Amino acid sequence: MGVNVFRLPDLGEGLTEAALVRWIVEVGDTVAVDQAIAEVETAKSIVEVPSPYAGTVSARHGEEGEVLAVGAPLLEVDDGATGSGNVLIGYGTKERQASGRTRRRANGAALVPAAASAEPMSASSGPVAVRSPIVRRLARSSGVDLLTIEPTAPDGVIRRSDVLKAAADTTGPPESAPAELQVVRREPMGMLRKAVSERLTRSRTEIPEATIWVDVDATALWELRQAMGDSRPSFTAIISKFVLIALGEYPVLAGRLSADGSEIVEFDGVNLGVAVNTPRGLMVPVLRHAERDSIAALDTGIRRLADDAREGRLAPAELSGSTFTLNNYGGFGVDGSAGIINYPEVAMLGVGRMIERPWVVGGAIVPRRIVQLAMVFDHRVCDGGYAAGFLRSVVDAMESPASLFSRI
């Protein structure tokens, strides 16, 4: 076989590109089939990519932090047999930049392959070394002339960071910035942030959302959970169960609106998304058919998904397909929020912090554990009365949990 070119594989879930986070192997290393060779970041998670070939790493394509398209060369592995692989022009080591015929000088020194003759030329330094088409595209979109860039890397190859710096140097401060302020840093949005931005923009653009909220006396729930001892489940797990029971009564809120907006689609269960704050930003891992789970099972599942999300271990499939999202932002010390629906869902419930507040009970002001629930819903699929009925069902369960616990 000779040299095998491993291209960035289809990572599923409609993903078309990934950012190279970290190389795990070096040129010259020996790799086995299914050995992890790199970490890549998609719009959903960070995953390790295994090699489909065994042999010696002869070339790596892409720099850490660079965005690669699915199907672009990632790694070359020499299996020791004779022959040559299909090396993409402009990638790989300088000795193997291109496949095909190579023109030579009279003294035998190699020239740039004819197929690569479109490489930009600098009068002072010869060909401009740009291996990545992503870097070229970024330069074009930023209005940066590659001939004006001085590479910072020792090998003289222009990286994405070089183009971004050149763009920042030439662009200057935004028009909206005060004239006396200077731009000190520009940070490109990561894969996850871009995905979140696109989804939230689409949500706000397409969904006529409405928000309702209520303050809940959760004192009985607080005391009941405290009595459970060290094995007690999280409040998120308990509230999740109350939400799932309520969605059984109000299934439209865990449904979808058809693409043309002509149908309301209901499902035979609930894929519950639980918002998790991670070092990469907000993620929403999914518990599938969560309505089948007990509180204990929900607690176990939520803790596992949250841990995996923070550690970057979630598979892309675990971050898609939710039909209703629960966002417990009380841990941030926040009481309430007018959330944005997690498109293409039609509703989301937010839970604030559960703190002692003065509350009127039987005509007397007493301290009680109060938490605010805020619900946002797509007004196209239901009216306020339906949404309020769902929210009231959750509130009733939280205010009188003992009777419900006896049945679940």
On whether the CB atoms of residues 53 and 79 are closer than 8 A, the answer is: yes
Catalytic residue among 10, 155, 169, 383: 383
DSSP-derived letter for residue 196 is H
Where helices occur in 290-383 by DSSP H, the ranges are 295-311
Q: Is 379 assigned a catalytic role?
A: yes
CA-nearest of 195, 160, 158 to 67 is: 160
Q: Pairing state of beta strands 347-351 and 324-328?
A: parallel
Which residue reads 């419930």 in tokens?
Answer: 349
Torsion of CA 315, 320, 326, 329, to 10 degrees: 60
Identify the structural domains of the chain with CATH numbers, from first to last.
1-114 (2.40.50.100), 119-188 (4.10.320.10), 193-405 (3.30.559.10)
Distance between CA 61 and CA 247 in Å, rounded? 49
pTM over 0.95: no
User: Three-class SS of residue 320?
Assistant: coil
Distance between CA 314 and CA 237 in Å, rounded? 20
* C-alpha distances in Å from residue 38, one per residue of 117, 141, 312, 328: 31, 28, 14, 34
Give pLDDT tens digits along the chain (408 positions).
Answer: 689 999 998 876 567 888 898 999 999 999 999 999 998 887 767 788 999 999 999 999 998 888 898 899 999 999 876 543 333 333 333 333 333 333 333 333 333 333 333 445 443 445 567 766 567 767 776 778 888 888 888 778 888 788 888 877 765 544 555 667 777 777 777 777 777 788 888 898 889 999 999 999 999 999 999 999 888 999 999 999 999 999 999 999 999 999 888 999 999 999 999 999 988 788 999 999 999 999 999 999 999 999 999 988 888 889 899 999 999 999 899 999 988 999 999 999 999 999 999 999 999 999 999 999 999 999 999 999 999 999 999 999 999 998 777 666
Distance between CA 287 and CA 326 in Å, rounded? 11
Catalytic residue among 29, 79, 217, 379: 379
